[in-house]
Amino acid sequence: MIDKEKFDEWYHEIVEKAELCDKRYPIKGMNVWKPYGWKLMRNIDTIIREEMEKTNHKEVYFPLLIPESYFKKEAEHIKGFSEEVYWVTHAGKNELEEKLLLRPTSETALYSIFSLWIRSHTDLPLKTFQIVNTFRYETKMTKAFIRVREIHFFEAHTCHTDFEDAERQIKEDLEIAERFFKKLCLPFISSIRPDWDKFAGAYYSIGLDVLMPSLKTLQVGSVHQYKQNFSKPFEIKYEGVDGKHYYCHQTTYGMSERVLGAIIGIHGDERGIKLPSSIAPIKIVIVPIIFKGVEEKVMEECRNVKKEIESIGLSCHLDERDKTPGNKFYDWEMKGVPIRVEIGPKDIEAHVITITTRDGIKKKIRRDEIEKLKEELNEYDRRIYEKAEKFLKENIHELREIEKREGIVELPWCGKEECGKKIEEEMDMKSLGVGIPSRKCKEKCVVCGEKADKWLRLSKNY
Amino acid sequence: MIDKEKFDEWYHEIVEKAELCDKRYPIKGMNVWKPYGWKLMRNIDTIIREEMEKTNHKEVYFPLLIPESYFKKEAEHIKGFSEEVYWVTHAGKNELEEKLLLRPTSETALYSIFSLWIRSHTDLPLKTFQIVNTFRYETKMTKAFIRVREIHFFEAHTCHTDFEDAERQIKEDLEIAERFFKKLCLPFISSIRPDWDKFAGAYYSIGLDVLMPSLKTLQVGSVHQYKQNFSKPFEIKYEGVDGKHYYCHQTTYGMSERVLGAIIGIHGDERGIKLPSSIAPIKIVIVPIIFKGVEEKVMEECRNVKKEIESIGLSCHLDERDKTPGNKFYDWEMKGVPIRVEIGPKDIEAHVITITTRDGIKKKIRRDEIEKLKEELNEYDRRIYEKAEKFLKENIHELREIEKREGIVELPWCGKEECGKKIEEEMDMKSLGVGIPSRKCKEKCVVCGEKADKWLRLSKNY
């Protein structure tokens, strides 16, 4: 893991060195996705889609542009986003009759149509999602994948007959998150955000956060219970079994390209990024170790091994470039390929291949046991997950009083907003909220001294 | 195929009846992709991606927004698109220093970065593509998938050392188009567009057109030779083997959601759409034929058949809804599922399944020959392709003089713009251009009477 002090500079450079993006596009905060980075993002999308399919969500695509009048239907929502939206005011040489905005998130685009799709309780639950780009005019310093102005975004939107069914959905969302982040070897924590920091328009919000090597947290996902806050202004009603009409209860679940930012940051090291095998476009790279005179023999063996690796379902690349093995090692380590296979004359003689995992474990595998590479990938994933989990756990601190600490802290809190904000101020941190699952607290609030039944989680964050 | 007269109304309704899109979104020309329609589009994208991968194109993603100054670098290009672009002028409460436009196509977004990526002849050819949405403020009547304002778009962009290599790319593009449209069972024609109708900024343009049942053509793809028209204003230069610097030659290849519009229009009939098996999300649907007393036996057989069909790699859906078989037939025909399997007590007794292809061929298949479904799908694809091909061929007319005809006509033409435009006017049609491959012509120009060595193709179009 990268040292705390070096992290931000390392991250700034690695995203271009590993050929994930190009930051030279002439609009601040809007980067170009290079082929390797885009492939990673698309592989992450594929994992999301699998989870959505398993849980009966249907994929839709709604227009990018939203009329101003629709955007303004939910009062808190517009308040929360009005500073951040891009406005389309003209088309061709005409000024538009009504201004249009680029979606910063899609509630107000989807919900006018949901009100047409939902008629009866038999239409519920309605479970949809889309993978789109959203646009937010960030005023803070931008950072590739972490704070950008065009955001590759996943958003699930669901409608339910009642609050309880919406709560069940939120439970399902948290289970999806467990499986999803596990596949990416990313340990995370979930917290119910304090009321003063919930999503604009939500009844309550849950944040999913990871801890970066800088000891700052990064929100990589969020789940929102909307209750009927949107269904009322958007008139999303259904006829119940009793023939009466009711407003739906709604939830959303969102994630973004920040997930890639987290993978880069948490698993990376001085040599480059380190990919979980689930999203690595190349899981195994073969580097021939060639000396004059044995070239063809080695290359033939490399080609045979490649075929065998592919035949067990693993993506494999044979690096035939005219470069030294050392230079090749450097390139593939930079790009985070999980396993490197070296094959030289000695390996052939001994009927083995030499493997080195991206986290530095070197061993020989018998030539007739290529199948073992699968196990090696699993073990590699497990190790990088556990390393990150250890780092996360070591940096969560339960405190009894205000004191300067880095990472994530938890302090006894009475639940009052004024005390929570006072803690934020004194700690010079932002509240993440109350952890899920919640832990019992029998202390006194560090601000007012009254009974505290909650631990308030805080951290510095991105 | 739908009657010419009924086509436009049929098309207008079918896109919603088959649950492909919802046209009630509050911005004209911007429709909602419903799950089934979006799935079809994504399956089309998958076929494109496979072709791109095979031909060593790399997928990238460039920002949606383009600064006005970049857009204006190529004079013809801005002229061609200036009436059609959406302008972002404000963000939050601020007026932007420089106006940004939503990409109507991405040349001006990509090429400033290409000039940074390309240094040497060893960086060439550069072959990239992206699948993105583009935005055009259409003033003509909008039509789902055919003329919309937010367009799901595919665009390949390539850079080459010289004109000849760019020409080779165009040849490859036409081969890709052959394979791609064949997979979608869409016969098409390709034509070199006349100079007065080429793409804004191109040296020459090739249009790929299909013929719709309305006897109007629909451009479903285009390939452009840019020569150095963009590389000069965007400074895309490389160092040749001789150490000197040269401007690149460039090409593009574009397609869009119109491909889906073509599939709907060309294969559809009174019962609904008719999908080529390559993109059908459900290739085979099983409808149980149930009578009281035999229900469980039939359902068990249906489940077994479903498993067997899936085991040979075909997507299969068992329709267990509480509806009559007739109603189920209606639904799946509307949605274009290639093969319907009926299983009732008599089928079980006779050790068969009864299949009906979406183009109306009914037969029985022996229960132990499920594998034959693959062949049936191939035959079905072949039939719907050939039917469309016959329709196309029957509606191309070689004329010797101006006379009113429907469909596609070809007339002897001397090659002069004024004569071409006169032919357009008198035929009340638009030029498609000169066919590829070109056919010899030894007639006289129908306008000026001079020697005509070309056939000018024309049609009414969308």
pLDDT tens for chain A, 462 residues long, are 999 999 999 999 999 999 999 999 999 999 999 999 999 999 999 999 999 999 999 999 999 999 999 999 988 888 889 899 999 999 999 999 999 999 999 999 999 999 999 999 999 999 999 999 999 998 889 999 999 999 999 999 999 999 999 999 999 999 999 999 999 999 999 999 999 999 999 999 999 999 999 999 999 999 999 999 999 999 999 999 999 999 999 999 999 999 999 999 999 999 999 999 999 999 999 999 988 777 899 999 999 999 999 999 999 999 999 999 999 999 999 999 999 999 999 999 999 999 999 999 999 999 999 999 999 999 999 999 999 999 999 999 999 999 999 999 999 999 999 999 999 999 999 999 999 998 999 999 999 999 999 999 999 999
Tens of pLDDT, residue by residue over B43-66, are 999 999 999 999 999 999 999 999
Q: Which CATH class is domain A284-380?
A: alpha beta
**What is the reported pLDDT for B248?**
98
**What is the reported pLDDT for B4?**
96
With an 8 Å Cβ cutoff, are A64 and B22 in contact? no
Query: How close A190 gets to chain B, by Cα (Å)?
Result: 30
- B3 confidence band (pLDDT: 50, 70, 90): very high
Which residue among A30, A58, A92 sits closest to B35, beta carbon to beta carbon? A58
**What is the reported pLDDT for A160?**
98
Chain B residues whose beta carbon lies within 8 Å of the beta carbon of residue A31: 63
Q: Is the pLDDT of residue B75 over 90?
A: no
- B442 confidence band (pLDDT: 50, 70, 90): very high
Domain B395-459 belongs to what architecture?
2-Layer Sandwich (3.30)
Which percentage of chain B shows pLDDT scores above 70?
100
Q: How many CA atoms lie within 13 A of A325 on its CB side?
A: 11
**What is the reported pLDDT for B293?**
76
For A397-459, CATH gives: 3.30.110.30
Query: How close A133 gets to chain B, by Cα (Å)?
Result: 9
ipTM, interface predicted TM-score of the complex? 0.96
**What is the reported pLDDT for B292?**
77
Instruction: Give the nearest chain B residue to A127 (CA atoms).
Output: B35
Which residue among A59, A100, A137 sits closest to B91, beta carbon to beta carbon? A137
Burial of B293 (0-12, 13-18, 19+ CB in 10 A): exposed
**What is the reported pLDDT for A79?**
87
Which residue out of A39, A60, A322 would a mutagenesis test of the B interface target, given it has the greatest number of B Cβ atoms within 10 Å? A60
Instruction: Give the nearest chain A residue to B84 (CA atoms).
Output: A92
Which residue among B67, B87, B137 sits closest to A26, beta carbon to beta carbon? B67
**What is the reported pLDDT for A392?**
98
Chain B residues whose beta carbon lies within 8 Å of the beta carbon of residue A111: none
With an 8 Å Cβ cutoff, are B62 and A26 in contact? no
Chain B residues whose beta carbon lies within 8 Å of the beta carbon of residue A50: none
Q: What angle do CA A268, A269, A274 make, to 5 degrees?
A: 40
Length of chain A counted residue by residue = 462
Query: How close A262 gets to chain B, by Cα (Å)?
Result: 20
Chain A residues whose beta carbon lies within 8 Å of the beta carbon of residue B112: 25-26
Evaluate if pTM is beyond 0.95: yes
Beta bridge partners of B286: B318, B341
**What is the reported pLDDT for A294?**
79
Domain B7-267: CATH superfamily is Bira Bifunctional Protein; Domain 2 (3.30.930.10)
Q: Is the pLDDT of residue B175 over 90?
A: yes
Domain boundaries, chain B: 7-267, 284-376, 395-459
**What is the reported pLDDT for B78?**
87
Which DSSP state fits B439?
A: P
- B238 confidence band (pLDDT: 50, 70, 90): very high
Query: How close B130 gets to chain A, by Cα (Å)?
Result: 10
For B284-376, CATH gives: 3.40.50.800
